[in-house]
Structure 1
Amino acid sequence: MIFQKALSPAHTRFLVEGNQDTVAGYVVGAGEVAKLSAAQLFEAHGLGFPGSPFDPAAEFVDVLRFADPLPVYVTTPVAPEFVDHPPFKGHGFTAWEGGFAPLYFLDECRIPVESELWRVHADAREELVAVYRDVARGWTVLPTSGFAQPAARVPEVVMGWVAVWNGVRFSADVLVGGAEVMLAASTAPPAGVTGFRQTGRGCWGRIVPIGEVDEVFELLARCRFEGQPFRITAVAEQDGQRVFRLSYTGHDSGVAEGLGLNKADAGVYWTVVPETAVTDVEFVQNIPQNLPTRTTS
């Protein structure tokens, strides 16, 4: 399935111009809402939530279309397990005048390769404005998009796809078709390691056949903070101590707001806390099936 996620103008610029690479929130099947106008998409994507930055009379709405990520990150939002503000209704569907479609919720994960950012206008006309290539190359903007060139920003190593090649661990993406892997290094490879080129994202990338790769897995780092479940999406140093950026995965807006978390979008909450404030840290390797790596060939 190709999923579709609506993005506000501010979110779009943050994502593309900042060369950010994660996505989270309510999504629908792109085919289910094809040919809808911007106003209809406002209803279909449930953009009238409290504090919404979206305008129902806007001339356009930007939508990110991407291949379905691993099932571990996709939830059918049904009450009482899933709690959120209106227009969320808790029955697993979204509706607009003249139609309805299944609704899904995506916990924060890295954007899949070759994802496309489309601008849907009031008359339902669509315009491709940017493409997320992969973990090494990041975003490419089209000349008519109005975006500035994406900034240099290396990927976080605590989440996303990982490949082990010649005994070295890299951030990675399995490219479309499954026959090749893009390796991404945040610093220049050591002398003697050839074939890497620096990308506009500020890291070094190399494409290798998947059969040359020792391992491929998707890394999930999770923990608990104040007794609630979170995904660790970034690690940094601040005032001499390690801090974690956490994305809430408990799917209860009341709990999230009671903890004082930052709200990024409907159902999407995050915070930054010292490493010492979290418990039950674990790292999970989500291993895809039927990839012809050295370990499976």
Structure 2
Amino acid sequence: MTIWQKLLMPAMTDAMLKGGLAEVGGPVVRAADVAGVRPAELVRAYGLGGEGLVFPEAPEYVDVLLFEQRPLMRFETPSDIGERPWPTYEAGFLRGPVRAPVWLLARTRVPSGSTIQRLHADGRTEQLAAFGSPAKGWTGATGYYPPLHIIGPRAKWRGHDLPADFLPNDQPGVELVWIGDDGVPEGFEQIRPMIHRRLAPFGECDEIFEVVVTASHRGVPVRVLQQAGDEALLLLENPSWSQVEKLQPGPVEPGYFELTAPSVELESVRSVANVWAPEP
């Protein structure tokens, strides 16, 4: 099983540790390819260290997310998308002394068993938090956010469409999450207030899949992350600078932005279900 590493922006670490955010996407590398790389070399390799950039030239530490590759994750090699005011890794590798291959991971839910590690300049590694599961959330974090966004695995189970997560350590099953206290099916265990879960073998599920919803907002391609009431949370991935100026979204990390917009303003809405086919 491949272990991946995601360099976390400081705001992303805060969102995970304080708000319980459990999502990952954007540039990632294989952890083995950057083992032992110190913070200063790592931020230089990403093109994000120095005056006016995300990190100082020689940070005392950086935080990374370590996670296992799971079914339904979608990786792409970077391509030349034209000039952008942030690194795009169009050559397919990090920069400078760390010539590690880099992939772009489509936004998904953090898988169970993932950890947030703090890499110190003196070579020490400190674990800040561990992700138990979508129902349990982060151990070591002060907040929790339920799996409400339209990302990550889902399962059709006895007529219900539920957030799901593949069990770690190659266990043949999924965690199913029921949000709310009304109509909780038999066999679900309460983990948190209004959060219940069931560990189900694959054979109990009619289908395991991920839904990807895309649309156009004011002529700009977006991915729909959540729809609540009359508003939608939207993601822009490596847009042009003119598109950023047009929509004025908030930055998540270099090249990735989010904004909330009225659902009625979305056009060309398209929903695709990527279905997991288990190996015989």
After TM superposition, the score normalised by the length of structure 2 is 0.88
Structure-1 residue corresponding to 2:245: 258
Q: Tell me the amino acid that sits aligned with residue 105 of structure 2.
A: L
- 1:216 CA drift (Å): 0.9
Structure-2 residue corresponding to 1:276: 264
RMSD: 2.4
> Could you say if the C-alpha distance between residues 128 and 82 of structure 1 is closer, same or farther in structure 2, counting changes exceeding 3 Å?
farther
Structure-1 residue corresponding to 2:106: 107
Q: Contact 1:28/1:101 (CA < 8 Å) preserved in 2?
A: yes
In the alignment, structure 2 segments of 5+ residues that lack a partner are: none
Structure-2 residue corresponding to 1:45: 46
Structure-2 residue corresponding to 1:144: none
Once residues 34 and 74 of structure 1 are traced to their aligned partners in structure 2, the CA distance between those partners, rounded to angstroms, is 21
Structure-1 residue corresponding to 2:187: 195
> Could you say if the C-alpha distance between residues 89 and 111 of structure 1 is closer, same or farther in structure 2, counting changes exceeding 3 Å?
closer
User: Could you list the per-position Cα deviations for residues 11-67 of structure 1 after superposition, in whole angstroms to 9, with x for gaps in the alignment?
Assistant: 212122211121222222211110111111112233238964322332211000122
Once residues 186 and 265 of structure 1 are traced to their aligned partners in structure 2, the CA distance between those partners, rounded to angstroms, is 29
- 1:202 CA drift (Å): 4.8
> Could you say if the C-alpha distance between residues 78 and 156 of structure 1 is closer, same or farther in structure 2, counting changes exceeding 3 Å?
same
- 1:233 CA drift (Å): 0.7
Structure-2 residue corresponding to 1:136: 135
Q: Contact 2:119/2:126 (CA < 8 Å) preserved in 1?
A: yes
- 1:211 CA drift (Å): 1.3
In the alignment, structure 1 segments of 5+ residues that lack a partner are: 142-148, 293-297
- 1:74 CA drift (Å): 2.4
Moved more, 178-187 or 283-292: 283-292
Structure-2 residue corresponding to 1:127: 126
- 1:70 CA drift (Å): 6.0
Q: Tell me the amino acid that sits aligned with residue 93 of structure 2.
A: F
SS at match of 1:182: strand
Moved more, 209-218 or 45-54: 45-54
Once residues 51 and 239 of structure 2 are traced to their aligned partners in structure 1, the CA distance between those partners, rounded to angstroms, is 15
After TM superposition, the score normalised by the length of structure 1 is 0.84
Once residues 2 and 30 of structure 1 are traced to their aligned partners in structure 2, the CA distance between those partners, rounded to angstroms, is 6
Structure-2 residue corresponding to 1:17: 18
Once residues 128 and 49 of structure 2 are traced to their aligned partners in structure 1, the CA distance between those partners, rounded to angstroms, is 24
User: Could you list the per-position Cα deviations for residues 151-192 of structure 1 after superposition, in whole angstroms to 9, with x for gaps in the alignment?
Assistant: 24321153221112222221111212141210101112526x
Structure-2 residue corresponding to 1:91: 91
